[in-house]
Amino acid sequence: MSEIKKMSRRGFLKGVTGAAVAGMGASLLPKGVHSQTRSLSIWHTEPSDLTVKAVQKVCDRFMELHPGVKVVQEGIGWADLGPKLTISLAAGNPPDISHIQPYMFRSFQKKGFIIPIDDVIRSIGVDNIHEAVRDMTLYRNHWWGISHEVGCPLLMIRKDIAEQAGFKVPDDITKPMFKTWAEQIEYLKAVTKPEKRQWGMSLPGTGYFLQEHCGRWVGGNGGTFYDERWNPAFHKEPFIGVLEFVKTLSDQKLIPPDWLSQSWLGMIVEFSTGMTTMIDHGYGRIAVSIAKYAPDKASEDYFKPIWRPVGPLGKVDYTDLDSEPWVIFAKSKNQDLAKEWLKLFYSRDMYLNYIKTYPVHMYPITKSLANDPEYQALPELKQWPSWVRQQAEYIKRKQATPVGVFAPAKNIQIPFLAEVFDSGMIVDEIVAMVQGRRKAKEAAQRISDRANDLIKKLGYPVPDPIRSEKKA
């Protein structure tokens, strides 16, 4: 009896340790031992199931054309994709292809993380891509990325509410309704009725989006984030003007009371449900929200884009290009396959299928698709024609500059945009100002100071960080 018991105890313990060791060993087996297949991993910023399916179609077709290759894609919102991409790069294991934000491009390029993809551009047709979009990642005669689509946030207004309040909304979408911010404020005052739960404009409290608003506005106020020597220009008059504009909106209560903790998605819902009458961040995606929450108002009689006004110091208004470029990472072991995948992605049928998932938001980068009758026959385009036309107009007039870069577009060459933008320091100071802890001028100066500190810490000469470029 005791023999059996002794054995069972020893046997059990042996079994457990054996299993543990075997398990660890198995998981430690180098992958290459049993997988001869090549693989492609693709990360992008479109988490919507519709779009994921469209990308999957490209992947499936690719796997048909290239047997033995395994393609895996993942769609995550940027708020998560950013950190995840950062971690994977820190671990030395990025995906093969990924979306990045335009303002990160130079940072990645300078560190040698990505490769040029001139041949992909050429195969799609150099003249076939809208210039402003194509040359977003042009540096030293190479193209380093290619945008998956291009959308421009538009200034949108509730036409019915405006007309009820006695204002005329122009039919011509290239004519601004207000010439200046001051006029815009007057309008907002007229339509803000808190007791009826109606506020003038939506503003996002979320750092990324609030900073995006400021970038558009500083361009419209004749200014920039960085001057030609790459010095932070936040302390100059145009940006101070932007801060004062935000402060007016907040002080006069023309924006919902808890705007500071409002996310961009919440802002879209606010606008769709009529809680606010205007939104500066009129993405095409709002069409989805309207269809859900206000299906009876889903037409341009209710939601219409208007051309932007300019600030007191500005002459030309700007919007931004929301268009994440695909890039191929240098660490990828299958760069050739990656390039083939991208070429397949932009082939007419595949690309049309992709754009179809959100046609009002996703304007195609290729002129060939934009002019394609099947694209132009898409029902959403018929439902919201002005939205698409105004975006195309901004792009044509070169008044759409990449997100995070803003005006002038060539600032995309600055290699520290990502760190300053993502740090959220601009939003920090805006909040301090809005809460009355600082005056606009002081807040603006602090942003420039903090930006200079960070730029210095990153190893660039301060002032005039452009000096670091002479070497390359």
> Which residues, 256 to 315, sit near another protein by CB under 8 A?
256-263, 265-266, 268-270, 273, 275, 285-286, 288-289, 292-295
Between 9 and 179, whose beta carbon lies closer to another protein? 9
Question: Residues 152, 319: contact at Cβ < 8 Å?
Answer: yes
User: Which amino acid does the sequence have at 256?
Assistant: P
Give yes or no for residue 148 binding another protein (CB under 8 A): no
Show the tokens assigned to 95. 């995906």
**Nearest by Cα to 360 from 273, 251, 287:** 287
| Residues 108-137, interacting with another protein (CB under 8 A) | 111, 113
Binding mask 381-420 for another protein (x = CB under 8 A): -------------------------------------xx-
Angle value at C-alpha 25, between 37 and 39, nearest 5 degrees: 15
**Contact with another protein (CB under 8 A) among 135, 160, 428, 442:** 428
Between 271 and 375, whose beta carbon lies closer to another protein? 271
Show the tokens assigned to 52. 């994921």
Between 376 and 445, whose beta carbon lies closer to another protein? 445
The least distance separating another protein from the CB of residue 431, rounded to whole angstroms, comes to: 4
Between 114 and 409, whose beta carbon lies closer to another protein? 114
Give yes or no for residue 15 binding another protein (CB under 8 A): no
CB-based burial label for 202 (10 Å; 0-12, 13-18, 19+): buried
Dist. CA 399–CA 75, nearest whole Å: 29
Give yes or no for residue 68 binding another protein (CB under 8 A): no
Show the tokens assigned to 116. 């040029």
Dist. CA 434–CA 54, nearest whole Å: 43
Q: Give the CA dihedral 264, 267, 273, 278, nearest 10 degrees.
A: -120
**Contact with another protein (CB under 8 A) among 68, 90, 377, 471:** 90
**Contact with another protein (CB under 8 A) among 77, 125, 170, 461:** 77
The least distance separating another protein from the CB of residue 59, rounded to whole angstroms, comes to: 11
Between 139 and 293, whose beta carbon lies closer to another protein? 293
Between 317 and 380, whose beta carbon lies closer to another protein? 380
Between 2 and 37, whose beta carbon lies closer to another protein? 2
Dist. CA 182–CA 191, nearest whole Å: 15
**Contact with another protein (CB under 8 A) among 57, 66, 69, 74:** 74
Distance, CA of 285 to chain centre? 13
| Residues 176-235, interacting with another protein (CB under 8 A) | 197, 199, 204-208, 210
The least distance separating another protein from the CB of residue 269, rounded to whole angstroms, comes to: 5
Show the tokens assigned to 153. 């946030």
Give yes or no for residue 82 binding another protein (CB under 8 A): yes
Between 122 and 197, whose beta carbon lies closer to another protein? 197
| Residues 26-45, interacting with another protein (CB under 8 A) | 27-31, 41, 43
User: Which amino acid does the sequence have at 147?
Assistant: S
Give yes or no for residue 25 binding another protein (CB under 8 A): no
Dist. CA 396–CA 392, nearest whole Å: 6
Between 199 and 239, whose beta carbon lies closer to another protein? 199
> Which helix (H) or strand (E) covers residue 393, if one does?
helix 385-396
Note every long-range contact of 9-12, with CB atoms under 8 Å and residues 24 or more positions apart, other chains counting.
none
User: Which amino acid does the sequence have at 334?
Assistant: N
Note every long-range contact of 80-89, with CB atoms under 8 Å and residues 24 or more positions apart, other chains counting.
81/43, 81/44, 81/45, 82/422, 84/43, 85/43, 89/113
The least distance separating another protein from the CB of residue 12, rounded to whole angstroms, comes to: 6
Distance, CA of 3 to chain centre? 70
